Chain A
Amino acid sequence: MSVDASRSAGGGPAPAAAPDVKTQAQGATIATGTEAKRLSIDDLLYLIRYNPDDRGHLRVINDDICREKCVKYGYACTRFCPAQVYKWEENHVSVSWEGCIECGACRIGCPFANIDWKYPRGGFGVSFKNG
């Protein structure tokens, strides 16, 4: 067993200063410096290929349930959805189904079974390049 204690001397923060991350059509480079820039969810979604359908495949069934019951979960789907499809907008959850990567987490994870979940129609939706 080997042990790597990569503690920075004195426990201080790692030195900042690093080249910026470029987000390109093809990919996003992780800076070579000590401090790689975090990719935002928008950066990440930009890398995914989709065959967009013109009709949505996801729907929140009852906005009242989100408003009244889901506060204590911090509106769960707006947090765990890996593609940030759901966003809390003032008094309801908006659904950007175009970005869905079809994992199905919201189908199982909504504490109130309040999402009408389907896959997109055959041939539509996400189309991974690598998988």
Chain B
Amino acid sequence: MSGNERFDCIVVGAGPAGTAAALTLARAGVKVVLFERGEFPGAKNVMGGVLYSKTLNKLVPGFWKEAPLERPVIEQNLWMLSSDSVAKVGYRSPRFVPGHAAEGGVPDEGPANAFTVLRAKFDRWFAQKAVDAGALLITETAVEDLLWENGKVVGVQTGRDDGKVYADAVIVTAGLHALNSLIPKMADGRLGIKPEHVALAVKQIIALPKEKIEDRFNLPAGMGATIELVGASTSGLTGISFIYTNADSISIGAGAMLSDYVKSGKHPYDVIEDFKAHPAIKPLIAGGEVKEYLGHLIPEGGYNAVPKLYGDGFMVAGDSAMLVNSVHREGSNLAMESGRLAAETFIKAKERKDYSARSFAAYRDALDKSFVLKDLRKYRGIQHYLDSHPQIFLSYPEMVSEAAFRFLNVDEAPKAEHEKMMVQAVTNRRSMMGLLSDLWAGWRATR
């Protein structure tokens, strides 16, 4: 790439959003360059991670036959941890893994609903798809800012010596921290992104032999499970933890609101070590070897925190646009879908040779019609709900544990007495009216 080479479109960041955009553009014959600051795509990226098939299969049909995936997910669980106990709800169905259920081999019938993945491997493979389609991938190169002319984005400033690169438009898919000239500042100079808008997540990769994983999680050979946890798993902070099975390792992590971290003064590495030491968790990872420690932020602002999605000469997709559905732990699929829609908007704009905000408004319309903004809108009230009902994360798991214990404990008290004690365990901690109002508000927040 020479100093004054011109491109049709520049994409900043080779995560799921950027690669989906570059792939779509390259296939349409657009001259596109994809910048990535990492040593390779994925080197900087962390997720749980559960990858949902539907969105990816639109981009790379039959992806599951070649992509580096860990395990198809046959079972999903929600655990509520109290300080020493656990209440579990789960669902396993062969319908999640059409064709896989027969065990072994790669099925032709269609992909599983979701797969566990490790992003350093997955992102690298995915970006290669864009390269194969004709995109120019430039790694180890950070875009430092956008280049503006007359209120319009005309290119990017990279950290290289011949640093300026020009194009008709720039698609920003650089993750949560995006680029300085796009991040809104408040009057006092502070960032527009608040600690209440992000979760800080830490994660460990724990190696275990395949058979041990399948034994401990009661899995058919090659199949995977996910466990989401609330309650004592985040040391009293508002958050969610997770345990996902990979081919021969476990991804275990804990995410909590950054605002809670600031308030509590807790260390993230203590939170995850406490979680691992919980009596219900310890046996799952015993004897494993910790291979890596990772950390990342998750945008949790929801619909109300979505920034400006386009302007003259630019569009913003994925985490850069806060497009994460924190209720369902979905982000990578929203990133891919938004990246693809931004690219399609660019392709149409190119026919008209019009890269103005007016032309790119079609991107917003497309997002509005897609599951991306439909889902975020559906849960727009959830952030406020969780802020104002911290008991959902904190005292409910203890309450459920106490109720279950009283109901199931065999102590020769008549069963009618047990039922009474169970109700008591609940109402001791939260009045009946309080419970009803929590439920009602929760229902409203998800309508």
Residues of A within 8 A of B (CB): 1-8, 14, 26-32, 34, 36, 38-41, 43-45, 47-48, 51, 73-74, 76, 79-80, 82-84, 101-105, 107-109, 111, 113, 119, 121-123, 125-131
By beta carbon, the residue of chain A nearest B188 is: A113
With beta carbons under 8 angstroms apart, the residue of B120, B258, B282 that contacts A109 is B258
With beta carbons under 8 angstroms apart, the residue of A1, A26, A131 that contacts B88 is A1
Binds A, one of B165-173, B219-227, B284-292: B284-292
CA distance A125 to B37 in the complex (A): 10
By beta carbon, the residue of chain B nearest A123 is: B140
Central interface residue in A105, A108, A126, by most chain B CB within 10 Å: A108
- Evaluate whether A5 and B43 lie within 8 angstroms (CB atoms) in the complex, with A30-B290, A47-B290, A80-B258 already known: no
Interface string of B268-293 (1 = CB under 8 A from A): 11000100110110100111111111
B385 within 8 A of A: no
- Would you list which residues of chain B between 169 and 193 have a CB under 8 Å from chain A? 176-177, 188-191, 193
Please name 20 further chain A to chain B contacts, defined as beta carbons within 8 Å, in addition to the given A5-B85, A48-B294, A131-B120, sorted by A numbering.
A3-B87, A3-B408, A6-B84, A7-B85, A30-B290, A31-B286, A31-B287, A32-B286, A36-B285, A80-B200, A82-B202, A82-B268, A105-B297, A123-B139, A128-B45, A128-B46, A130-B291, A130-B292, A131-B46, A131-B119
Using C-beta atoms within 8 Å of the partner chain, give the interface range for chain B.
35 or more
Cβ B290 vs Cβ A128 within 8 A = no
- Evaluate whether A131 and B118 lie within 8 angstroms (CB atoms) in the complex, with A79-B261, A82-B200, A122-B37 already known: yes
CA distance A51 to B140 in the complex (A): 11
Chain B residues within 8 Å of A84, by CB: 267, 269
B243 within 8 A of A: no
B307 within 8 A of A: no
CA distance A125 to B249 in the complex (A): 25
Shortest beta-carbon distance from B280 to chain A in Å: 6
Shortest beta-carbon distance from B376 to chain A in Å: 20
With beta carbons under 8 angstroms apart, the residue of B120, B265, B288, B404 that contacts A128 is B120
Shortest beta-carbon distance from B71 to chain A in Å: 14
Cβ B177 vs Cβ A109 within 8 A = no
B158 within 8 A of A: yes
Shortest beta-carbon distance from B419 to chain A in Å: 16
CA distance A124 to B209 in the complex (A): 33
CA distance A114 to B248 in the complex (A): 42
Cβ A30 vs Cβ B85 within 8 A = no
CA distance A31 to B206 in the complex (A): 12
Shortest beta-carbon distance from A28 to chain B in Å: 5
- Would you list which residues of chain B between 285 and 343 have a CB under 8 Å from chain A? 285-297
Shortest beta-carbon distance from A14 to chain B in Å: 8
With beta carbons under 8 angstroms apart, the residue of A79, A119, A128 that contacts B292 is A128
Shortest beta-carbon distance from B267 to chain A in Å: 6
CA distance A27 to B290 in the complex (A): 5
Cβ A83 vs Cβ B295 within 8 A = yes
Shortest beta-carbon distance from B324 to chain A in Å: 15
B141 within 8 A of A: yes
Cβ A123 vs Cβ B37 within 8 A = yes
Cβ A36 vs Cβ B140 within 8 A = no
Chain A residues within 8 Å of B285, by CB: 30, 36
Cβ A4 vs Cβ B269 within 8 A = no
Chain A residues within 8 Å of B46, by CB: 128, 131
By beta carbon, the residue of chain A nearest B124 is: A131
By beta carbon, the residue of chain B nearest A5 is: B85
Cβ A73 vs Cβ B262 within 8 A = yes
By beta carbon, the residue of chain A nearest B205 is: A130
By beta carbon, the residue of chain A nearest B144 is: A118
Cβ A101 vs Cβ B295 within 8 A = yes
Interface string of B357-393 (1 = CB under 8 A from A): 0000000000000000000000000000000000000
- Evaluate whether A29 and B288 lie within 8 angstroms (CB atoms) in the complex, with A36-B282, A101-B294, A126-B44 already known: yes
Cβ B287 vs Cβ A32 within 8 A = yes
